[in-house]
Amino acid sequence: MQQQATVDGDALEVWIDQDLCTGDGICAQYAPEVFELDIDGLAYVKSPGDELLQDKGATTPVPLTLLTDVVDSAKECPGDCIHVRRVSDKVEVYGPDAD
């Protein structure tokens, strides 16, 4: 099992807002272990067991080894639809709603 990424000791999770997804696939290029484009052309997160999570607002843990790739995905996403937040309080630390 992969170690989960943290900020100040709080575990991180990531989710995609499909309403804003442009289907560019940049996230899947950066972190194919975390993101995948579905047949509908939109990006989704994947579970640690590699299952595509298609429920609206579905989250998945951010593996420590992929933190940089996930953060770069959020920064480079043309749709500004990738949100990385702390699990404990749901505060966004990377993505369009981060301070």
23-33 pLDDT, tens digit per residue, is 999 999 999 99
Q: Do residues 61 and 70 touch, judged by C-beta distance below 8 A?
A: no
Handedness of CA 73, 76, 77, 83 (dihedral sign): positive
Q: How far is CA 46 from the centre of its chain?
A: 9
From residue 49, give the alpha-carbon distance in Å to each of 45, 61, 92: 11, 11, 24
Question: Model confidence over 72-89: pLDDT tens digits?
Answer: 999 999 999 999 999 999
A 10 A CB-CB count for 81 gives 20
pTM: 0.93
| Residue found by looking up tokens 């997160």 in the block | 45
